[in-house]
Structure 1
Amino acid sequence: MTYIIENANILQDRMITKTSLLIANGKISSLKPVYKRYRFIRMNAAPYIMTPTPTLLLKEFPLHLSFQETKAYFIEEFILKGCTTFITLANVQQEQALSKEIKRIKTRLLNSPIDYIIGVRIPVRLLTPSFLRSCKREKVPAIFVEIKQVDELYKLPWGWIREAMFPFNSPLVPLFINDDEREKNQMKSEWRKVLVKEKIPSINDELAENEPIPYSALTKIGIYPKKSSLHQGSGLSYNFYLKSREIRNIEEVELFHYHRHMLVITVHKGEVLRANDYLDFRPGYGEHVKINTPSFYTS
């Protein structure tokens, strides 16, 4: 089915752009200020603020829940928040367990109603050329590394690590495991210095759970522009918030946190998941999103 979403107020980078979208087969075929000569069905989006659906980080998905508990979890933690994609982590303690842990998560998420990405979480001792080559074979898009002491960063063979990561280049994401704020700040500072100096694909800061992942991190992981994006050729996943004076010069993350009561419609891959009080839970409609080229859109 082909139709037009006209007068859409798309929020991006604190600015609202008014445009119209030509939709064909559940994807955005093109975007223009206006489509005058087309005779397709039109949907007027003027009363709403339109945003891409965010991608959230959930470090450990509760795989032990029953079906009804899992359903309630998806609804409360994702769908009612307008989220249609999330990244979760396989906790890997031994290199030989990598494939098994990823497969275990994929199996338990077969009934997911929304899309998901699987990264890995490892202790710093597993950051070896051999393990990184295994990650390349499994196409792991992000490697979350637990850092407990700053000295751990100086003991790693960074040259071999950089060589082993190429050309897939999954970014390393820090997890600073230390309650001492002073030491934690030192670890953050040294993480940035060392990885920039060694030219290692990485994300500078920890990623917060249960809030939209910043576009800079989504881009490095390779999720954006595949997900959380509204552009020509992308899938049709978006949120509609009721337009009001309080939603003008605002960032998407602020909209997510403080204006959820204004969220009225969530569409995932062209299908309505939520419209006001209506909610459509579709087990298995989500899919494992495979990232072919992390860090492709970064210099």
Structure 2
Amino acid sequence: MKYIMNIWDETMNKSRGLWIDRGKVRYAEFPVSPAGIFKMNTKEFNVFPGKITLDTQAAEQFSAGNGISYVKQKLLHGFTTLIHAVNIEYESESDDCLQDTRHKLSDCPVDYIQAVKLPLARMSESWMRSLRQQSVPIVIFYAESAYEIAAAPWQRFAEAMFPKRMMLICKPLEKVTDMKEKAKIYASWKHIVDVFKFNSYYSFPDPGIPVSPFLAKRTGLFPKKGSLVMGSDADYLMYSSSAEQAAQPFKVPDIIVLKGKIVKTGTKWKLSNIKGKELTNLIPEKFLPIQEIYKYED
């Protein structure tokens, strides 16, 4: 289906047009000859692109039979793309764990990417190579101390990940509660990033917190997800601009669209034939300006 619509762009502080064609934003202005193209009336709505968030529960929710309800809650909060993180303790379990997770998410109606959470103590060159081959773009590792970070063979890890710019995220182990030790861990990791120029991010948001456009670019999800620009998927939410909706403490989208298909209107859902997919062909940092390549915080 082809259609055109007007939205208010907060970044540009002006109204602009969108031309949606087969689930994608084909162009950021209206076509010269709009004959045969439906025009959507958005005067009574505020339109926003879908957001991206870290998630750790979707696979298990689908395994338990609660997946669709879980995703509906995500959509009501504006999240149309998930960074699904799975814990893996041992390299030998990695392939089976990823395969199992992908099977559980086979009925997920929203698109997602895989992230792996693992202990730095067991991180290895072969594991990094395997994750690269499995098209995992984000690795979140847990460190016990600053010394552990300094002693790790980062040059070998970098070679194993080449030529992809996988993102590495450092987190202290839960048992590390001393704030000074946590600060040392983060300082040690910042030094490693500075030396090896890894693709990283120092304040990766928790589940339920939107990913910023800058972080979306670092992961390679921009412009496909989290935006409404040429080449992006038509994932967006429409909120009534009425005074009644504005007074609500939590604004619920009146209309939710995934890849150009309406999946919610009012209180009615149409998710039965909607299939999301794992995004694997990402090019991290592609759209970052040269001055921001080695910037790791918003």
Tell whether the structures are fold-level matches, with TM greater than 0.5: yes
Structure 2 counterpart of 1:293? 283
Q: Residue 48 in 1 paired to residue 56 in 2?
A: no
Q: Secondary structure at the match of 2:13?
A: strand
CA-CA distance at 1:101 after TM superposition: 0.9
Cα RMSD (Å): 2.6
Q: Secondary structure at the match of 2:28?
A: strand
CA-CA distance at 1:87 after TM superposition: 1.3
CA-CA distance at 1:112 after TM superposition: 1.0
Structure 2 counterpart of 1:239? 237
In the alignment, residue 132 of structure 1 is paired with which amino acid? M
Change (3 A) 1:105 1:66: closer
In the alignment, residue 15 of structure 2 is paired with which amino acid? K
- Residue pair 2:121, 2:143 contacting (<8 A) in 1 also: no
Q: Secondary structure at the match of 1:263?
A: coil
In the alignment, residue 128 of structure 2 is paired with which amino acid? L
Deviates further, 215-224 or 60-69: 60-69
CA-CA distance at 1:31 after TM superposition: 1.4
Structure 2 unaligned segments of length 5 or more: list them. 294-298
CA-CA distance at 1:191 after TM superposition: 1.8
Partners of 1:59 and 1:199 lie apart in 2 by 28
- Residue pair 1:9, 1:46 contacting (<8 A) in 2 also: no
Q: Secondary structure at the match of 1:84?
A: strand
CA-CA distance at 1:37 after TM superposition: 4.8
Which residue, out of 198, 201, 210, partners 1:200?
A: 198
Structure 1 counterpart of 2:4? 4
Which residue, out of 193, 208, 211, partners 1:210?
A: 208
Which residue, out of 85, 91, 94, partners 1:95?
A: 91
Change (3 A) 1:197 1:64: same
Structure 1 unaligned segments of length 5 or more: list them. 248-254
CA-CA distance at 1:11 after TM superposition: 3.2
Structure 1 counterpart of 2:109? 113
CA-CA distance at 1:94 after TM superposition: 1.9
Partners of 2:23 and 2:264 lie apart in 1 by 17
CA-CA distance at 1:68 after TM superposition: 4.6
Q: Where do 1:242-257 residues align within 5 Å?
A: 242-243=240-241
Change (3 A) 1:295 1:37: closer
In the alignment, residue 256 of structure 2 is paired with which amino acid? T
CA-CA distance at 1:267 after TM superposition: 0.5
Q: Secondary structure at the match of 1:145?
A: strand
Q: Secondary structure at the match of 2:93?
A: helix
Q: Secondary structure at the match of 1:235?
A: coil
- Residue pair 1:147, 1:176 contacting (<8 A) in 2 also: yes
Q: Where do 1:72-83 residues align within 5 Å?
A: 72-76=69-73, 78-83=74-79
Structure 2 counterpart of 1:22? 19
Which residue, out of 17, 28, 32, partners 1:31?
A: 28
Relative to the length of structure 2, the TM-score reads: 0.85
Q: How far does the alpha carbon of each residue in 1:35-77 deviate from its partner, in whole angstroms, 9 at most, with x for none?
A: 675233211223332221011111343516666522322222x
Q: How far does the alpha carbon of each residue in 1:214-254 deviate from its partner, in whole angstroms, 9 at most, with x for none?
A: 22222222112121121112221111233479x9xxxxxxx
- Residue pair 2:113, 2:136 contacting (<8 A) in 1 also: no
In the alignment, residue 200 of structure 2 is paired with which amino acid? S
